Amino acid sequence: MTGARNRFLDLGQINAPAPWEVPDEPPRLPPVSIAPVAELIAVAEASPVCRRLIGLVEWVGTGVPLDPRGRLDATRAREVEQALSLQDEAGPGACGVDLLLRWARAAGLLRTLKGRLVPVKGRAALRHRPLELWQHVLDSFARIADARDGHPRFQPTLWWYWPTMQELVELTLYTAGGGPVPVEMLTEVTLEAPVGMLGFTPWAGLAGRDREDWHAALLDALGLAEALGAVRLGPAPDREHEEKIRELTGRRDADLRVAALTPLGLWAVNNRLVEQGVVAPVVEDMVRSSLAALLRSLDDASPETIEAALAGWIGHRGAARAAREAAKALDEPGVTPGDRAIVLEVFAETGEHGIEAARDARTRGGIGGAAAAAWLLRERPGGPPAAGPTTELTAAEARLAAADTFCALAETGAVEIAFESLPLADQLDLLGESVRSGHPDLAWLLDAVAEAPVHRKLAKLARKERFRLG
């Protein structure tokens, strides 16, 4: 199964095609897992921004007078700060009185009427419908940067075009399926974006202080989205991710933070895409599909999405039926080595039913049988092999199973993992055994090994064997 590390590597390609080139077909979006409504409602109720907007509307009551500039005077501003504990806020998601008022107006919760700040009666019911309120506030996020009043927070250029930039950021995060995306990548995506119908890249190539201002404004926006509950912002998961970010940017001082959509964010963006007529598959709608159809749908999914999809698929069928269907899928036409790796996960999740199904698959032979045999005899932490009485793999099974595992890794772009930490002689032997396996994807596997960051002698052997295959 594709690991989170490899998913990150796939997302880290900053040098993407020019974003203004319209594709012949709309982009294929990966399936995402949408949290249950009850969970979404609970998270929406806990949103710091929404809670303070409700508090602000309640504080306003039937209305409060504004000064000649259309603002709260200093005394009333302090009252709001104290009532909503705004004076204690700090950090990129800080939402002071001025910004909170802007957001309340943008969301249509408050308005100015005859020199007074008053609540909008038609929106009063939203205060008692947390999920609808949250969606409404998110939709208004694109409007809070209206620069007509010259608010200093929104002076950087990125904020002038925030509606366009917000869509780009949300779609980039959505295609990651809730997984982490480097903030540096989001910076590049927004810098390379055309604005309106200009037909050229107005901001690409920004450097020095200009790029820093753009990047800082993007972080400010992400911080506000985090305070709302749409985005998670934090450090890269591990040093490998950090090094990949440095490699992609070519800078040792690169921003090592990553951003991801929260379950609420995924739900909201999915809703918006569906309303626009975009095909945006949801895992929870796919549990009735056959396993083969489910696997095809999960081609571009994140590891978290795959895990949720399998759990839902197994739960819908029950462990016994799911294990039997998984065994049949091992050798179906179009099933890839990566798919077979997921089938083995189904065996693992269905307990004794999975063991029985794997034994049946082994008797049928072929690549699927070899993969099942290797899974049955694999030592697992805390327990013996799943096969019960010890049965040795045949040489043919061992070769096919190893070759299929290497092909599954090659699908993720990380076939070199199979050879890491092994002596060179063992690496050469492993590749030689794979060649003797007769695996149908052998030519593709050898090409992948030859191009991977492996020992030069291993790459040379891969090229030599590939030449022999013709």
131: CATH: 1.10.10
Asked if 169 contacts 217 with a C-beta cutoff of 8 angstroms, the reply is no
404 lies in some domain: no
Look at residue 454 and give its three-state secondary structure.
Answer: coil
Residue 269 burial (C-beta neighbours within 10 Å; 0-12, 13-18, 19+): buried
Left if phi > 0, otherwise alpha if psi is -120 to 50, otherwise beta: which for 439?
beta
Q: Higher model confidence: residue 58 or residue 153? A: 58
CA 207 remoteness from chain centre: 28
Assess whether 20 and 75 both reside in one domain. no
222 lies in some domain: yes
Give the whole-angstrom CA distance, residue 168 versus residue 171.
5
- For residue 196, the model assigns a pLDDT of 53
Does residue 147 have a pLDDT over 60? no
Give the whole-angstrom CA distance, residue 156 versus residue 153.
8
Assess whether 23 and 101 both reside in one domain. no
- For residue 21, the model assigns a pLDDT of 42
For 85, the token pair is 């504990």
Instruction: State the pLDDT confidence band at 102, using cuts at 50, 70 and 90.
Output: confident
- For residue 38, the model assigns a pLDDT of 94
Assess whether 84 and 56 both reside in one domain. yes
Assess whether 224 and 269 both reside in one domain. yes
Asked if 142 contacts 166 with a C-beta cutoff of 8 angstroms, the reply is yes
Look at residue 174 and give its three-state secondary structure.
Answer: helix
Asked if 264 contacts 43 with a C-beta cutoff of 8 angstroms, the reply is yes
Q: Report the half-sphere exposure of 439 (CA within 13 A, side-chain side).
A: 31
Assess whether 184 and 121 both reside in one domain. no
**What average pLDDT does range 343-372 have in this prediction?**
90
Contacts of 40 (CB under 8 A, 6+ apart): 131, 263, 264, 267
**What average pLDDT does range 23-44 have in this prediction?**
79
- For residue 10, the model assigns a pLDDT of 38
Look at residue 119 and give its three-state secondary structure.
Answer: strand
Q: Higher model confidence: residue 267 or residue 14? A: 267
95 lies in some domain: yes
**What average pLDDT does range 49-57 have in this prediction?**
91
Assess whether 181 and 110 both reside in one domain. no
Q: Higher model confidence: residue 85 or residue 346? A: 346
| Other Cβ atoms within 10 Å of 382 Cβ, number | 4
**How high is the mean pLDDT of the chain?**
82
**What average pLDDT does range 27-35 have in this prediction?**
79
Residue numbers of the domain that contains 461: 415-470
Instruction: State the pLDDT confidence band at 469, using cuts at 50, 70 and 90.
Output: confident
400 lies in some domain: no
Does residue 245 have a pLDDT over 50? yes
pLDDT over 70 percentage in the chain: 85
Does residue 26 have a pLDDT over 80? no
Residue 138 one-letter amino acid: L
406 lies in some domain: no
Instruction: State the pLDDT confidence band at 182, using cuts at 50, 70 and 90.
Output: very high
Assess whether 134 and 163 both reside in one domain. no
Assess whether 326 and 269 both reside in one domain. no
Q: Which residues sit opposite 117 in a β-bridge?
A: 64, 112
Does residue 81 have a pLDDT over 90? no
**What average pLDDT does range 179-206 have in this prediction?**
73
Residue 314 burial (C-beta neighbours within 10 Å; 0-12, 13-18, 19+): buried
Assess whether 436 and 378 both reside in one domain. no
**What average pLDDT does range 39-48 have in this prediction?**
93
Listed range (105-109, 115-119, 331-335, 364-368) with the worst mean pLDDT: 331-335
Give the whole-angstrom CA distance, residue 59 versus residue 378.
64
Residue 463 one-letter amino acid: R
Q: What single DSSP character describes residue 330?
A: T
**What average pLDDT does range 129-143 have in this prediction?**
92
- For residue 261, the model assigns a pLDDT of 94
Query: CA separation (Å) from 112 to 6, 87, 133, 182, 376?
Result: 52, 24, 20, 40, 70
Q: Higher model confidence: residue 7 or residue 458? A: 458
**What average pLDDT does range 90-109 have in this prediction?**
76
405 lies in some domain: no
Assess whether 23 and 42 both reside in one domain. no
Instruction: State the pLDDT confidence band at 12, using cuts at 50, 70 and 90.
Output: very low
Instruction: State the pLDDT confidence band at 16, using cuts at 50, 70 and 90.
Output: very low
325 lies in some domain: yes
Does residue 130 have a pLDDT over 90? yes
**What average pLDDT does range 176-188 have in this prediction?**
87
Does residue 428 have a pLDDT over 80? yes
Assess whether 387 and 313 both reside in one domain. yes
Listed range (89-103, 163-177, 438-452) with the worst mean pLDDT: 89-103
**What average pLDDT does range 202-209 have in this prediction?**
66
H or E segment to which residue 117 belongs: strand 116-119
**What average pLDDT does range 219-229 have in this prediction?**
92
Does residue 5 have a pLDDT over 80? no
- For residue 200, the model assigns a pLDDT of 53
Listed range (304-308, 309-313, 352-356, 413-417) with the worst mean pLDDT: 304-308
Assess whether 160 and 271 both reside in one domain. yes
Give the whole-angstrom CA distance, residue 331 versus residue 292.
10
SS3 percent helix, strand, coil of the chain, rounded to 5, is: 60, 5, 35
407 lies in some domain: no
Q: How many domains does the chain have?
A: 4
For 58, the token pair is 């309640």
- For residue 30, the model assigns a pLDDT of 79
Does residue 40 have a pLDDT over 90? yes
| Other Cβ atoms within 10 Å of 270 Cβ, number | 20
Sign of the Cα pseudo-torsion (215, 219, 225, 229, in order): positive
Query: CA separation (Å) from 255 to 157, 250, 259?
Result: 20, 12, 12
- Last residue of one domain, picked from the residues 275, 304, 334: 275
Asked if 206 contacts 214 with a C-beta cutoff of 8 angstroms, the reply is yes
- For residue 203, the model assigns a pLDDT of 58
- Last residue of one domain, picked from the residues 242, 275, 308: 275
For 263, the token pair is 């379950």
Q: Which of 456, 366, 381 is nearest to 419 (CA)?
A: 456
- Last residue of one domain, picked from the residues 358, 393, 428: 393
Does residue 464 have a pLDDT over 90? yes
